[in-house]
Amino acid sequence: MSWEKEYSEKSMSASDAVKQHVANGDHIFVGGLTTATETLKALIDTAKQGNLKGLTLHGNMLIGDINFQDSALTEDVLRYKCFFGGAIERAGAKAGSVTFVPMHFRNYGRYMEHVQPNVAIIPMTPPDEKGFCNIGPMGFTPAGKRFAKKVIAQVTPGLPRVYGSEHDLHITEISAFVHGNEPVAYLPGSTATVEEKKIAEFIVDRIPDGACFQLGIGGLANAVGYGLRSKKHLGVHSEMYTESMAALQKEGIIDNSRKTFMPGRSVAGFALGSQEQYDFISGNPRVYFAPYEFVNDISNIMANDNMMSINNALSIDLTGQLASESIGFRQYSGSGGQMDYIRGATMSKGGKSFIAVSSVANTKEGRKSRIVLNLDPGSIVTSLRAEVQHIVTEYGCVNLQFCDIPTRAKKLISIAHPDFRDELTFNAKKVGYIY
């Protein structure tokens, strides 16, 4: 049978794909970011109607019109286990249908091997002339499809076809194709605040020419990325390939010529941005996408000399413990790859790790210092004090590595907002951090 005929025979509606390939009690990989929303909605509707029970979904930070807040999604019907949360996951957690799995992204392949999903529901490009579909720039999808017994592909024409280690799948390996009208997901660029721009300046000043770097998401990452236009011969090894990275690579500032691990090309886990960014990575062999268990592997990160890691935190205590994923008891995002890149960068020859945190948070109760004596009750420690290095606010950058507690406390107070420094100093002396 020609692949064209097989492709035609396997093409069906979302509801038929769910009916034919999903059974009671199945574990279902649903990916994240760019998701097969039409097929997932058909799955959820089928479960709500009582035709499927005992489903467990596995994914992260879904983007799309997906509702996990319906009262029909009781525990015996469906539970969605996520390992990194966004708005959809936070709303579902409040309703009780979404739960959180703590995990460093470097362990994602092992997690999927443990789950052994019955079905993977993922977006893919249309097949090429040889019958191969591509999963696009999504670093968690390779492990999901690798261990799934069946794959339902939702064909997404706008999805960029990228170079990668496990990003092509032949139509003979796919159980069903759903032809949706869903556009590829975009992530509008965040505008950096005045504070974030100042933080970015402190970080950019400490990044040398020829460095290899990693960025996260948001306004600060954009400010750092575009601030690197003053540098030369940069390289990329990053969980996320950002819009700023695409711009710098187009301009020749990123040329990956001095990388000591996989030189000559940017290596990343995922990309989520603008059409211009997707156009740049589509069919571009100089941008290579790899599974999270590869791109977040500490030994691979540290293999790059002068590795620079830039991430965010929500708050930090005076000993250096980072809370980067929860606000008190409320799970906000996830561990992600922060610890992976802190370790990889600090173990790299000439490497540096930066944690950016604005000095204050504006809350319902008023302004609060993000540098605190102790973390709020319920706050999750994402990164350990023994491993953090540079901490940066809009008031400066301090290096905590190998410092004792009194020195750490004094350094952190020096970059706290001036309005809170006296109180922090008084309390630090009261508990014995400073004496």
- Asked whether the beta carbons of 127 and 155 are under 8 A apart, the reply is no
Which secondary structure element, helix H or strand E, spans residue 327, and what is its range?
strand 326-327
Half-sphere exposure of 332 (CA within 13 A, CB side): 15
The catalytically annotated residue of 182, 196, 239, 243 is 239
- Asked whether the beta carbons of 126 and 155 are under 8 A apart, the reply is yes
Q: Give the separation between CA 221 and CA 186, rounded to whole angstroms.
A: 17
Q: Quickly tell me which residue has 């994914």 as its tokens.
A: 59
Six-digit token string for 355: 């944690």
239 assigned to active site: yes
Six-digit token string for 200: 């970015």
Closest CA to 338 of 106, 140, 138, 137: 106
Q: Quickly tell me which residue has 């009781």 as its tokens.
A: 74
Q: Give the separation between CA 86 and CA 97, rounded to whole angstroms.
A: 14
Residue 434 contacts by C-beta under 8 Å, 6 or more apart in sequence? 406, 409, 410, 425, 428
Closest CA to 240 of 261, 218, 220, 215: 215
- Asked whether the beta carbons of 214 and 309 are under 8 A apart, the reply is yes
- SS3 of residue 197 by DSSP: helix
Closest CA to 286 of 245, 255, 258: 255
- SS3 of residue 128 by DSSP: coil
Which secondary structure element, helix H or strand E, spans residue 108, and what is its range?
helix 108-115
- Asked whether the beta carbons of 122 and 145 are under 8 A apart, the reply is yes
Closest CA to 256 of 233, 228, 239, 230: 233
- SS3 of residue 242 by DSSP: coil
Q: Give the separation between CA 245 and CA 174, rounded to whole angstroms.
A: 33
Q: Give the separation between CA 142 and CA 272, rounded to whole angstroms.
A: 17
- Asked whether the beta carbons of 207 and 231 are under 8 A apart, the reply is yes
Catalytic residues: 239
